[in-house]
Structure 1
């Protein structure tokens, strides 16, 4: 018997997405994405603001406190891989819902921990779900964004994360003196559970993912009509992504190194992301504590940490638009400018005003560069494996994130003062600069039809 020919009209979703106008759909998409990333940033960062109180309550050494920060990062490592796999199998949206509910539940349980072992176990479990949420949100946003706004859309999404991190200081100042350190974890857990509701109601599934996996074809048209008001779609259409056909092959880690020069691109992204994560998580976890040890009051240290997080968000916005037009190499300017700031704090005695100015500049450049790397970590992979690509990059980067909090605690326990840690971590951005310059040159050599190319491919004629 001859094979039945599918006579349904074919609609390529790529040109529809490339030619879309940014409107109401994007406002709602960013709003829901911000809710998830804000809580992810708050829940991951709050351990640093509450760290001093937890250290006193459980009589922890600096190394133990650093380990508590590190074990959460270990959880995010595993979570990025596990939830990325789920996101590429069943969809980004259900995986994001599970992640949001998961870190909400374990935040609440962390607040009732009775000893150090329970703190470690519960912080690890929280990290698993925190690590899963971000790569999935990036995948959704990236796959709805036209090429001209691909990196910018991820940077805008990550503003929610930076604001969530910044909110930890004021909320800690408000709640901890009155209700104890447990209160901030209860607040984070409850709000995280509530956030799963708008995610379930309003977050769209990626149409590129559904089309390339040939899943739920009936849903794609409805989502496209929401995203593109007034679009005319033929009845009974079959939706595809470019000319590559369906992609139902099971994901294997080796896929991240095959095709489109990925054998070189993937290691470069991973190594740059690792170096960036080491310094970012060092600043995030130890920042408020180091501010205190340098001479600021508890309240002033937390407020300064919050302002540095806002400065980091500004740095992300500053670099975002350049990446879409000039490529990954542009990001290298941020860590390059961070080096003298970190070395200055580490080597020169500064008065309070000068320290505040330099530490804010350092965060603009450090967090700006980190946001730039985040914005590109999934763009080089085809939609069917993009969540896995972003998830693996995020998870591998956690080796750097684990090193950061632990290394700072270790060197301080062995005689280095708080200022000296800035000098030690000033070497990580130097490595980032080299890696990002090489990555930028590789990206410029990609063909126009390759994922991550600086130029969008011409739409396929059907």
Structure 2
């Protein structure tokens, strides 16, 4: 045992590095999965219910497309606002606000009476949907040991992929019997219920509390949940590394401060924007394109759901390689996705080859997207990590809005359904360039730096209980 001197100081980083996967992590993953599953479901359900909403309100194609875009615009605002809230009050309170918010407004969307109400409620839903994911990423990243950092975020994002996939079969099950409103009622109620396990079981980030010097009395109980064998003396002060505590207000300039972030932030934004463009093109237009290719409405929805499952599998496999090889490893996935997209766009494929290549392309594209997400916040210090992830997510929403619009523009100008896959092959190419450059920067970071692949050497004091 170390000396019980007045106010002993403990660095939380070496403690978190020696964690083993156990009950604490199972609970953390389970609660995170609930939030990300419902985030994915509530965001993507508009793609499956869109045709029914269009008929119910006699909407034009442009109005329907605007309804899809306005939700993404809301997520752009939400990722900034909720990221700011997360860095001001903590990850957990902001996640509670986000989950409750998108639950309330998803439920309210089901009782909208006209098109302006649909627009307003979808935007409001998007604000809270956009805030939840960056906060979850920041929280999981700040608990994860270096060896599991990317994998933990990828595992968390599998919940989002399954939530997106659930929209297809649930729409086929509920809408024919109960109307399009039923899927929004189901999503809204489930999201409100999800607030309960978040409040009861989700821990606050100890790195955030230590670096901001907030609520120090809460850190030891949380650490004992993660490391049951560790004890701390009364009055112990917790820090993050040897750097000073950060209490200053956040400004966007902080994301570019220093030689590393000045390079890293633009590269992350470019990769994330490009990835979001193709992912949201596939998510929004996928069921419609499958139907126009020749599948029935139910077959098209089912195929879109299986494509999301394939994407989840791609994310899980990618995570382990990223932890071992770094951010540059992500570039392999979009590289392999390019020939898949070109094959769909240029070759006269029958149904079976089309399905196989489509599923493979989703595994590669969504796997790469999850990889980008997993490294979005790791290069920023904990005090601004939620803002870093939030701003990157907001910039990525520009790509998310571009993707569906660009596909519609291409279709209206005679490109053809399969031709859109050819057009969107440019985005993985941009991803490859940005990710290779990001990998080079990461490999040059010293041990202990945010985003480094090298584990800092712990001291004797760090390795012993206080």
TMscore range, shorter length: over 0.9
1:337-352, aligned counterparts within 5 Å? Answer: 337-352=336-351
Post-superposition shift, 1:343?
1.3
CA spacing shift, 1:260–1:204, aligned 2, 3 Å:
farther
Deviation track 1:195-233 (CA, whole Å, cap 9, x = no partner) reads: 000000000000000011111111101101111111121
Structure 1 94/223 Cα, relative in aligned 2: closer, same or farther at 3 Å?
A: same
1:52–1:289 contact (8 Å) kept in structure 2: no
SS in 2 for 1:292: helix
Residue 112 of structure 2 corresponds to residue 107 of structure 1 = no
Q: Is 1:11 the counterpart of 2:6 in the alignment? A: no
Counterpart for residue 94 of structure 1: 93
Distance in 1, matches of 2:187 and 2:380, equals 33
SS across alignment from 2:348:
coil
Hey, what does 1:3 align to over in structure 2? none
What residue number does 2:354 align with?
Answer: 355
Q: Match of 2:234, SS?
A: coil
Contact 1:294 1:418 in 2 (8 A): yes
Q: Report the alpha carbon displacement of residue 11 of structure 1 after superposing the two structures with TM.
A: 1.0
* Match in the other structure for 1:424: 423
Aligned-pair CA distance for 1:298: 0.8
Contact 1:260 1:450 in 2 (8 A): no
| Other-structure match for 1:400 | 399
Deviation string 1:43-93 (CA, Å, 9 cap, x unpaired) is: 111111111212222333333322222111111111000000000010000
How many pairs are equivalent?
A: 457
Structure 1 Cα separation of the partners of residues 178 and 349 of structure 2? 35
Give the drift of 1:260. Answer: 5.4
The residue number in structure 2 matching 1:370 is 369
Residue 6 of structure 2 contacts residue 235 of structure 2 at CA under 8 Å; is this kept in 1? no
Deviation at 1:144, TM superposition (A): 0.5
1:266 counterpart = 2:265? yes
Large movers: runs of 4+ above 6 Å: none
* Preserved CA contact (<8 Å) 1:138 1:154: yes
Written as runs of structure 1 = structure 2, the 5 A alignment for 1:448-459 is 448-459=447-458
1:59 maps to 58
Q: Distance in 1 between matches of 2:140 and 2:232?
A: 22
Contact 1:67 1:406 in 2 (8 A): no
Mapped contact 1:34–1:161 kept (Cα < 8 A): yes
C-alpha contact (below 8 Å) 1:242/1:460 kept by paired residues = no
Structure 2: distance between partners of 1:63 and 1:362:
28
Distance 1:352 1:118 in 2: 40
Normalising by structure 2, report the TM-score: 0.96
Partner of 2:464: none
Structure 1 unmatched runs, 5+: 1-5
Secondary structure at 2:448 match in 1: coil
Q: Secondary structure at the match of 1:388?
A: helix
- Separation in 2 of the partners of 1:121 and 1:417? 33
Q: Any gaps of 5 or more consecutive residues in structure 2?
A: 462-466
CA distance in 2, matches of 1:60, 1:338: 35
- Could you say what secondary structure the match of 1:451 adopts? coil
The reply on whether 1:82 has 2:81 as its aligned counterpart is yes
1:346 Cα offset (Å): 1.4
Closer/same/farther in 2, CA of residues 460 and 117 from structure 1, 3 Å limit? farther
Give the match for residue 27 of structure 1: 26
Q: TM-score, normalised by structure 1?
A: 0.97
Taking the aligned partners of 1:347 and 1:21, their CA distance within structure 2 comes to 49
2:129 is matched with 130
8 Å Cα contact 2:154/2:370 also seen in 1? yes
Q: How does 1:189-228 map to 2 (within 5 A)?
A: 189-228=188-227
The answer to whether the 8 Å contact 1:243/1:460 transfers is: no
User: Does the 8 A contact of 2:106 with 2:188 survive in 1?
Assistant: yes
Q: Secondary structure at the residue paired with 1:239?
A: strand
Post-superposition offset of 1:460: 5.0
SS in 1 for 2:282: helix
Please state how far the C-alpha of 1:115 moved relative to its aligned partner: 2.3
Three-state SS of the structure 2 residue aligned to 1:11 is strand
Deviation at 1:456, TM superposition (A): 1.6
- What secondary structure does 1:245 align onto? coil
CA contact (8 A) 1:91 1:205 kept: yes
Aligned counterparts of 1:190 and 1:68: Cα–Cα separation in 2: 22
